[in-house]
Structure 1
Amino acid sequence: MKRVTSLLPPRRATWFSLLTLSSLLLILCGSPSVRAQPADTLRVTAALEEVFVEPTYYSVLEDPSGTLTLAQIREPRWASQFQRASTLPTTTMDHPGAAYWLRLRVQARGALQQHWYLELFDSHLNNVEFFPPDGAPPVITGAGLPLSTRKFPYKNFLFRLPLHPEQTQTYYLRLVSSSKTTFLSRLRTEQPLAVHFQTEYGLLGGFYGILLIMVVYNLCLYLFIGEQTYLRYVLYVLSCSLVFLSEDGLGFQYLWPAHPALNELIIAGAPILLLLTFSYYARQFLDIAQRLPRLDRWVRAVVVVSLAGLVLDTVWVRSGWGFWLYLLPYGLIYYAAYRVWQRGQRTARYFLLAHALVALSVGFLILRRLGIDTFTNTATVYSMNVAFVVEVVVLSYALGEKIKAIKEATIRTQGKLVKQLRKKHAVQNQLVEQLHHNQILKDQLNTELEGLVAERTAELSRQSETIAGQNRELLQANGLLALQSAAIEKLNQDLQHDLQEVKTARVLSKEVNFGEFSQIYPDKDACLAYLANLKWADGYQCRKCGHEKFCDGREPHSRRCTKCRYVESATAYTLLQKCKFSIIKAFYAVFLIYTHQGNYSSQELSRVLDLRQGTCWSFSQKVLEAMRRRRQAPDFDENEGWTHVLLDANAPDTEEAVVAEEAADRA
């Protein structure tokens, strides 16, 4: 946003104006022969030092094409189209890019002791042409040209008026701006102008000095403490400084005077950067993401949309009303601060106070941008500078308060931890005392035990002779016991083997539960080992080349032909090819279906195996089909076990599964 500065006459100039007006009234009343001057003529006298140029003194001609010259606008055709600024709807340049011709008549009454200067307050006018009445070459300057084009290297536009006593001279100004602005100005003599320069630059120097101090102070805190909020605050203050440097023209005057394009870029981009850094800082300072997560999402979305709208308006639309897009995100963040303050964060009240002053100064700025000069005075024009100084100081203090609160919370937490450690230490002392008491009891017990051991040793020595005699008898019996032990060991091994065979036979002969079944086939490796031994019980022979020698494949219990390198897994060409679930459950499913002669429902099978009914039904159909083919086999035996069904190699999807397995193995 652009800021147009304006100053009303100080009290001394006001008294001079009243005195001059009274003198003119006396002259007009006492000299009827003097002709009345036109109402749009600005009169200056030697008693005056500065005069605020009211918009009523200007006559305005808008040139949308921007092609009119000074000679053309002096022709009667165009001169008659000049309108008094007081008759216009607003005193602003409402059409960015159009040329506005201003005509100002100034009458010098009496001999003037000092030179007069015209100062235009808006430093963002892209092109300014000042035409002296004496036919001298025009002064062409503007924000779109280097600072060297200005006769006076000043942040505002300053032109000397060659006034002559008792003469009325007409000055023309041609103004072009890329945004909406006003044409407020002031006439000053040399001495008030010098005083104004000294005062204004002193105040601005103090203002930027405070901002610099805040930047250095918070940057040092960030480097020492490492708290990211300080860095975000530094970025925010730097963007504020960049906005003010671009708004008051000091940046163009001192930092980039030879780069007008950079000046226009900073003027357009600094407010956007300010909105971005402000939201970036305020969200963390207020802890909106933690305290109001839902509102935080809205804040981020509104900021992103507003930034996109500002960029679009700056680059393409150029409506001049982009400053309205700042109100919604700033208002939403201010509302979030109020909500956070309601939830108990004390530092949020400093945020509300600081930005209330900024909001008031922004309101004055918007009124000036709308052409409403009712509240325009020195206090309102520089209220934004004062508000931002108050803001950076208050927010720095608030940031310190926040860190202090976090530190106090940390100290309280550490105090609680110290109390817990003290309690733990007291418990440890009690434990040490208990251990010491236990050690005393242990020593007493050891003393008593030593006495008992001594007595027992004497008794044992007496019994040792008796035992020695018995040992000789036992040696003779040991020979017989050794033979009996060997026989018993052999009997135990046979019994264990018979027990395993009985258990296996029981599994192979009737229904058992899954726990008992898992003892025979405890894991996948045992199942694959059993299936491989069953499959290649008669010896290995390659299905591709017929070779009989093999080595281990990459998969467990698979075999690779040493001649053609063909790999065959343990499940290939069996009922378990492409089985979608655990091979242990598959074994048990085949066992249950076989032992029940195919009369085992898929619902019960699903409940027992904890599988989907569809999967159980599909697998049971494969088992039933394998049982049917097995019964039709020539070597079928009614008393054979259920494991023969596993070697069924005629399942419909066996060949496709083998081809897929071969492709995967080659890959």
Structure 2
Amino acid sequence: MTKLCLRILSIALFMLPYVAAHVYGQSGNYTFQINDQLDERIYAIDRLTFYEDESNEMELEDILSPKMAARLKINPDFNKHQFSTNKTYWVKVAIQKTPGSKKNWLLEFYDQTIDEITAYIPVGNGFKEILLGDKAPFNDRVFSHKNFHIPVENQSEGTDTYYFKIRSSQKADIRIAFRSYNRFIYYALNEYFLYGIFYGMILIISLYNGLIYLAIKEVKYLYYVFYLLSVGTFAACVDGIAFQYLWPSRPEWNQPASGLFSFLIIVFALLFSTHFLNLQRRFPSMHRCFHILLIAKTVLFTLGLTFFPVLLEIQIYDIVPFFLILFSSIYVWVKGYSVARLFVIAYGVLFVGVGLKAMVHTAIIPHSTVLYYSLHIAFLVEMLLLTLALGDRVKILKDNRDRAMLRSLRQAETNAKLKEKVNRELEQRVNERTQELAHKNQLLLEFNQQILEKDEEIKRINALLDKDIWKLKSQIRENLQARITNKRMSYADFTKIFPDSSSCLRYLEQVKWENGFSCKTCNHGKFSKSSKIFHRRCSRCGHIESATAGTVFHGIRLPIEKAFYLAYTVISEHDKLTLEELSKLLDLRVNAISSFRVKVKLQLEMKGIHQPEWEDIVLERSHELN
């Protein structure tokens, strides 16, 4: 029965503040009573007496005036979501002192992100002013703790009234704890112990994955290290640990640092997920979507850093990247990428944690200790699961490699057996082929002997043919010479002998070099073929000489076969043909015909030949060429 009464009494004491809030209503004031039986009481702003100063110009004297007494009241419908960054909040806390208490007491503000807290502590007949908030240097605090604390004086009877002037550039969670020093020390030591475990695990896992990156050079491990460090630093900013240990003299860094590392968390989460899930190959559309998200988040961060600081806070839309990462991991897992199984669980937990933190931050759901630390818990679980996922990925890849090696060994054994079989068959075929080739080789030797005999016979016949051909050529040349020297040959007969330019050039080549080649530059007698037809190239100096060089036909602009006939008219009876008749016959201009005939006659006059023959016309310097 006694235990039951004590329980009822405890419940009554616990419910007393709520009952008091409704009893006093809108105009009531709640008073903290020092009681050694209760080590701790925590009240949110909806259970505190406060006033919203829209002018931001009121001072303590204005708040203490009689007309403000009715305006300072409890508003049970007010929550963090209604907090305005454009207003100043005045909070009144009344403490009924109990000098007989054996404990020391303090007031504590939980939200470490509040910019300015001016505490007015009753001292005698006045008030002592203490500046708190994350805009004040850390070393100015009464206690070296991440939260803001005000010691409570309890030496005399009566009720002390404390006033707090609060301003913040981001939504603040005005929550005041009234607790004893013993409770505070116990709570602080346990909290910092858990923080040490949390941040120590982040550093250890970061170092572990950094060493893995140095060993295997896979960029996903580097992104994961940066992601973990961003998570750790962001959590330290939110907890006030970063301000306490990293930049205690730089309070102006608090808000930009929190925004920076929340931005880096999303950036490295997207990059790590892209490489871990291999989205470029397995989910290209989501890979492009991630790039768009990176650009959008970068733009928002830049705007928040320069123009709109509110964008640096955690927003409800920050859930979107983590939702897309979770969706992508589920998609590639369903598509058969088993490496993503632990990744899905990790980001499922993180997605829930981020969602709860964002809803608590925007006051969509009420505050609680578990929900306040939901992001820490989610990050811790996700960090462990992602580390296991990276190890699981290595294990899966190793198993795949082992299976591939086993298949390769089995295939190698099969190939070896097949190779042995093929070698035996090849050896048998080679033996058969060798015997066949030996037989055929014998036949080839016999055929070769017959060919040698035939070759001797052919050489003998060729010698006879060469002799006959030489005689025939001599006869043809004599006939050709006779026909050319026939001074009554018509143009039609002449074109049968020289029908085109090739026949003319071939004739010049024969007449010019019938006694051998002699280079005009170095008098060398050996030549090689040139890239151009009817040209010869000196084997010593490389000089190239054409068949027309050194003849009356060199450099002419007339068709050479027509020039041949004009030269022939000089020594034939057709010399009596007029220029007009030759022009009509050859389809050439009169001037061209006249110029070429003059050139031929000048050559004959220079040689002093009065009864010229054909070769006297063809060769300008026959005595040099021969």
TM-score (norm 2): 0.66
Matched, 1:349 2:341: yes
For each residue in 1:519-550, what CA deviation from the matched residue of structure 2 results, as whole angstroms up to 9, or x when unmatched? xxxxxx989x9xxx9xx997599xxxxxxxxx
SS in 2 for 1:131: strand
- Distance apart, 1:162 and its partner CA: 1.2
Q: Which residue of 2 aligns with 1:247?
A: 238
With 167-176 and 329-338 compared, the bigger mean Cα shift is at 329-338
Aligned counterparts, 1:272-351, within 5 A? 272-319=263-310, 323-351=315-343
Shift in CA distance, 406/451, structure 1 to aligned 2, threshold 3 Å: closer
Q: Which residue of 1 aligns with 2:468?
A: 484
Matched, 1:377 2:355: no
User: Residue 20 of structure 1 contacts residue 47 of structure 1 at CA under 8 Å; is this kept in 2?
Assistant: no
Shift in CA distance, 434/381, structure 1 to aligned 2, threshold 3 Å: same
SS in 2 for 1:148: helix
User: Residue 105 of structure 2 contacts residue 181 of structure 2 at CA under 8 Å; is this kept in 1?
Assistant: yes
Q: Which residue of 2 aligns with 1:121?
A: 110
Shift in CA distance, 538/66, structure 1 to aligned 2, threshold 3 Å: farther
- Distance apart, 1:132 and its partner CA: 0.7
Aligned counterparts, 1:117-196, within 5 A? 117-134=106-123, 135=126, 137-196=128-187
State the one-letter code of the partner of 2:90: W
Q: What is the distance in 2 between the residues matched to 1:219 and 1:336?
A: 25
For each residue in 1:388-427, what CA deviation from the matched residue of structure 2 results, as whole angstroms up to 9, or x when unmatched? 1111111111122223323333444444445555555455
Q: Which residue of 2 aligns with 1:46?
A: 36
SS in 2 for 1:181: coil
Shift in CA distance, 329/383, structure 1 to aligned 2, threshold 3 Å: closer
User: Residue 360 of structure 2 contacts residue 371 of structure 2 at CA under 8 Å; is this kept in 1?
Assistant: no
Rg larger in structure: 2
User: Residue 111 of structure 1 contacts residue 165 of structure 1 at CA under 8 Å; is this kept in 2?
Assistant: no
User: Residue 353 of structure 2 contacts residue 374 of structure 2 at CA under 8 Å; is this kept in 1?
Assistant: yes
Shift in CA distance, 441/242, structure 1 to aligned 2, threshold 3 Å: same
Q: What is the distance in 1 between the residues matched to 2:10 and 2:59?
A: 39
Q: What is the distance in 2 between the residues matched to 1:289 and 1:232?
A: 16
- Distance apart, 1:160 and its partner CA: 0.7
State the one-letter code of the partner of 2:326: Y
SS in 1 for 2:307: helix
Q: What is the distance in 2 between the residues matched to 1:421 and 1:23?
A: 79
- Distance apart, 1:77 and its partner CA: 3.9
Q: What is the distance in 1 between the residues matched to 2:392 and 2:359?
A: 35
User: Residue 316 of structure 2 contacts residue 359 of structure 2 at CA under 8 Å; is this kept in 1?
Assistant: no
- Distance apart, 1:181 and its partner CA: 1.6
- Distance apart, 1:447 and its partner CA: 7.8
Q: Which residue of 2 aligns with 1:572?
A: none
Q: Which residue of 2 aligns with 1:99?
A: 88
Q: What is the distance in 2 between the residues matched to 1:481 and 1:51?
A: 133
Q: Which residue of 1 aligns with 2:71?
A: 81
SS in 2 for 1:137: strand
- Distance apart, 1:201 and its partner CA: 1.0
- Distance apart, 1:264 and its partner CA: 2.5
User: Residue 220 of structure 2 contacts residue 275 of structure 2 at CA under 8 Å; is this kept in 1?
Assistant: yes
Matched, 1:68 2:50: no
- Distance apart, 1:79 and its partner CA: 4.2
Q: Which residue of 1 aligns with 2:217?
A: 226
Q: What is the distance in 2 between the residues matched to 1:337 and 1:444?
A: 68
User: Residue 108 of structure 1 contacts residue 166 of structure 1 at CA under 8 Å; is this kept in 2?
Assistant: yes
Give the fraction of aligned pairs with identical amino acids, expressed as a percent: 23
For each residue in 1:13-70, what CA deviation from the matched residue of structure 2 results, as whole angstroms up to 9, or x when unmatched? x979828839999xx9xxxxxxxx9642122212221111243442222234433222
Aligned counterparts, 1:404-419, within 5 A? 404-419=395-410
User: Residue 326 of structure 2 contacts residue 351 of structure 2 at CA under 8 Å; is this kept in 1?
Assistant: no
SS in 2 for 1:182: coil
Shift in CA distance, 240/540, structure 1 to aligned 2, threshold 3 Å: farther
State the one-letter code of the partner of 1:76: P
SS in 2 for 1:152: coil
For each residue in 1:308-358, what CA deviation from the matched residue of structure 2 results, as whole angstroms up to 9, or x when unmatched? 234324532344675123122222222222222221223333233222322
Q: Which residue of 2 aligns with 1:580?
A: none
SS in 2 for 1:367: helix
- Distance apart, 1:492 and its partner CA: 13
Q: What is the distance in 2 between the residues matched to 1:43 and 1:151?
A: 23
Shift in CA distance, 443/261, structure 1 to aligned 2, threshold 3 Å: same
Q: What is the distance in 2 between the residues matched to 1:231 and 1:54?
A: 42
User: Residue 259 of structure 2 contacts residue 301 of structure 2 at CA under 8 Å; is this kept in 1?
Assistant: no
TM-score (norm 1): 0.62
State the one-letter code of the partner of 2:200: G
State the one-letter code of the partner of 1:96: T
Shift in CA distance, 69/428, structure 1 to aligned 2, threshold 3 Å: same
User: Residue 46 of structure 1 contacts residue 111 of structure 1 at CA under 8 Å; is this kept in 2?
Assistant: no
State the one-letter code of the partner of 1:264: Q
Matched, 1:358 2:369: no
- Distance apart, 1:247 and its partner CA: 0.6
State the one-letter code of the partner of 1:234: V
Q: Which residue of 1 aligns with 2:199?
A: 208
- Distance apart, 1:227 and its partner CA: 2.1
Shift in CA distance, 436/187, structure 1 to aligned 2, threshold 3 Å: same
- Distance apart, 1:484 and its partner CA: 2.9
User: Residue 239 of structure 1 contacts residue 273 of structure 1 at CA under 8 Å; is this kept in 2?
Assistant: yes
Q: Which structure is higher in RCO with an 8 Å CA cutoff and minimum separation 6?
A: 1
SS in 2 for 1:125: coil
User: Residue 96 of structure 1 contacts residue 178 of structure 1 at CA under 8 Å; is this kept in 2?
Assistant: yes
SS in 2 for 1:270: helix
Q: What is the RMSD computed on CA atoms of the aligned residues?
A: 4.4
Q: What is the distance in 1 between the residues matched to 2:338 and 2:461?
A: 96
Q: What is the distance in 2 between the residues matched to 1:181 and 1:635?
A: 114
For each residue in 1:544-589, what CA deviation from the matched residue of structure 2 results, as whole angstroms up to 9, or x when unmatched? xxxxxxxxxxxxxxxxxxxxxxxxxxxxxxxxxxxxxxxxxxxxxx
Q: Which residue of 1 aligns with 2:377?
A: 386
For each residue in 1:351-408, what CA deviation from the matched residue of structure 2 results, as whole angstroms up to 9, or x when unmatched? 332223223333332333233564x333222232222111111111112222332333
For each residue in 1:125-152, what CA deviation from the matched residue of structure 2 results, as whole angstroms up to 9, or x when unmatched? 1112111111453211321222111121
Q: What is the distance in 2 between the residues matched to 1:354 and 1:363?
A: 14
Q: Which residue of 1 aligns with 2:568?
A: none
For each residue in 1:451-482, what CA deviation from the matched residue of structure 2 results, as whole angstroms up to 9, or x when unmatched? 9999x89xx9xxx9xx9xxx9x9999886454
Q: What is the distance in 2 between the residues matched to 1:258 and 1:241?
A: 21
SS in 2 for 1:48: coil
- Distance apart, 1:157 and its partner CA: 0.9
Q: What is the distance in 2 between the residues matched to 1:367 and 1:441?
A: 88
- Distance apart, 1:203 and its partner CA: 1.0
State the one-letter code of the partner of 2:467: L
- Distance apart, 1:302 and its partner CA: 3.2
Q: What is the distance in 1 between the residues matched to 2:307 and 2:465?
A: 110
Shift in CA distance, 166/24, structure 1 to aligned 2, threshold 3 Å: farther
Aligned pair count?
482
Q: What is the distance in 2 between the residues matched to 1:52 and 1:474?
A: 126
State the one-letter code of the partner of 1:115: N
SS in 1 for 2:97: strand
Shift in CA distance, 302/491, structure 1 to aligned 2, threshold 3 Å: farther
Q: Which residue of 1 aligns with 2:621?
A: none
Shift in CA distance, 500/390, structure 1 to aligned 2, threshold 3 Å: farther
User: Residue 28 of structure 2 contacts residue 73 of structure 2 at CA under 8 Å; is this kept in 1?
Assistant: no
For each residue in 1:215-274, what CA deviation from the matched residue of structure 2 results, as whole angstroms up to 9, or x when unmatched? 122112222222222222111111111110111111111122122223332112111111
Q: Which residue of 1 aligns with 2:528?
A: none
